[in-house]
């Protein structure tokens, strides 16, 4: 059943508290949308809502972390990373505090809210920060695993969550240790390296290309920072061509991270599929098709890279 990655947030926090972890969440007037409200309903003393004040959200989270708690922050991605970037940099990362940045509603699949709410720069903003780990789960199960990993790993972690329901890529037994890149489909002609929303579309594109005799390896770049260098280089070496696909700007995101790695350690032709503009209003499906980030668009770019 398709479920949004944001749905894993509040549910997993409740489970972690039930398992004995000293978890708290701080949100900025979006508890229902981010699903931290589920933690507040089950354990009212473990959720702080600071109102529409994301900079204050980070400051409160930082203070709570200094009491020994593991603290998660919510909000929408455009506000939860953009509006309070300086506080994340100077208060959380510079001091290595145990604060987890987990906003929801990232990417163009936010839909009709339009460009102001479609955060396409968050991976770049977070991966540039020293000490920050960056996780982009592809479905509900991997989102729950990412939140668990963040809770049990000291220091700053960014988990990118979304609004759009996504098909299952992994089952509920999925666990992760960093660095991690999964290979849900093996192939020999081209590697499609995707993250988040785009993993399911890459798998669909691989099926369509297989009908034309093209063998696609799909790599889920779950941890954008640190990168699973071994898996990424091995796939690039096997296929000789890499297409990166992300619901994010092509500047500074997952594709940039992969291209940087391969340029230094195993150069192969790399094409980056993502956005170079702001988004616009529309349904998630309409926007993915418009920006050629659906399966059909991935097929088109893959064929270009293969010279077909």
Sort strands 182-185 and 216-220 into parallel, antiparallel or unpaired: antiparallel
| Long-range contacts, stretch 299-303, CB < 8 angstroms, 24+ apart | 299/205, 299/208, 299/209, 301/243, 301/245, 301/271, 301/273, 302/190, 302/192, 302/205, 302/209, 302/214, 302/216, 302/243, 303/209, 303/214
Q: How high is the pLDDT of residue 132?
A: 98
At residue 72, the pLDDT reads 98
Which of 3, 8, 46 is closest to 27 using CA atoms? 46
The model carries a pTM of 0.97
Active-site residue (options: 11, 18, 19, 54): 54
CA distance 166 to 70: 28
CB atoms within 10 A of CB 15: 18
28 prior amide bond cis, ω within 30:
no
Q: How much is the pLDDT for 60? A: 98
pLDDT given for residue 308 in this prediction: 86
Runs of H (alpha helix) within 88-195: 122-127, 140-152
pLDDT score of 1: 83
Q: Which of 227, 298, 302 is nearest to 260 (CA)?
A: 227
**pLDDT by residue, tens only, the chain of 308 residues:** 899 999 999 999 999 999 999 999 999 999 999 999 999 999 999 999 999 999 999 999 999 999 999 999 999 999 999 999 999 999 999 999 999 999 999 999 999 999 999 999 999 999 999 999 999 999 999 999 999 999 999 999 999 999 999 999 999 999 989 999 999 999 999 999 999 999 999 999 999 999 999 999 999 999 999 999 999 999 999 999 999 999 999 999 999 999 999 999 999 999 999 999 999 999 999 999 999 999 999 999 999 999 98
In the chain the domains, ranked by start, together with CATH numbers, are 7-159 (3.40.50.970), 182-306 (3.40.50.920)
Does 54 qualify as catalytic in the annotation?
Answer: yes
């Amino acid at each position: 059943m398709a479920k949004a990655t944001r749905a894993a947030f509040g549910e997993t926090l409740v489970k972690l508290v039930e398992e004995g972890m000293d978890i708290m969440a701080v949100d900025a007037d979006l508890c229902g949308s981010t699903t931290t409200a589920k933690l507040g309903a089950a354990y009212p003393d473990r959720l702080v809502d600071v109102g529409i004040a994301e900079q204050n959200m980070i400051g409160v989270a930082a203070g709570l972390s200094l009491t020994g708690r593991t603290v998660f922050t919510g909000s929408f991605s455009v506000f939860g990373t953009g509006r309070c970037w300086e506080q994340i940099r100077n208060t959380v990362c510079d001091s290595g505090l145990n604060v987890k940045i987990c906003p929801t509603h990232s990417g163009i699949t936010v839909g009709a809210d339009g460009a102001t709410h479609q955060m396409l720069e968050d991976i770049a903003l977070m991966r540039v920060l020293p000490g920050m780990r960056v996780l982009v789960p592809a479905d509900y199960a991997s989102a729950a695993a990412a939140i668990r990993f963040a809770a049990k790993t000291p220091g700053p972690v960014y988990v990118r969550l979304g609004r759009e329901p996504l098909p299952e890529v992994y089952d509920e037994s999925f666990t992760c240790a960093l660095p991690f890149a999964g290979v849900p489909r093996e192939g020999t002609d081209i590697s499609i390296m995707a993250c988040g929303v785009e993993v399911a579309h890459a798998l669909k594109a691989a099926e369509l290309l297989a009908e034309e005799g093209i063998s696609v390896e799909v790599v889920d770049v779950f941890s954008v920072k640190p990168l699973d260098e071994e898996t990424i280089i091995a796939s690039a070496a096997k296929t000789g061509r890499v297409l990166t696909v992300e619901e994010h700007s092509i500047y500074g995101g997952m594709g940039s991270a992969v291209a940087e790695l391969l340029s230094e350690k195993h150069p192969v032709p790399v094409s980056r599929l993502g956005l170079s503009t702001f988004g616009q209003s529309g349904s998630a499906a309409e926007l993915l098709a418009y920006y050629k980030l659906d399966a059909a668009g991935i097929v088109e770019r893959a064929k270009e890279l293969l010279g077909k």
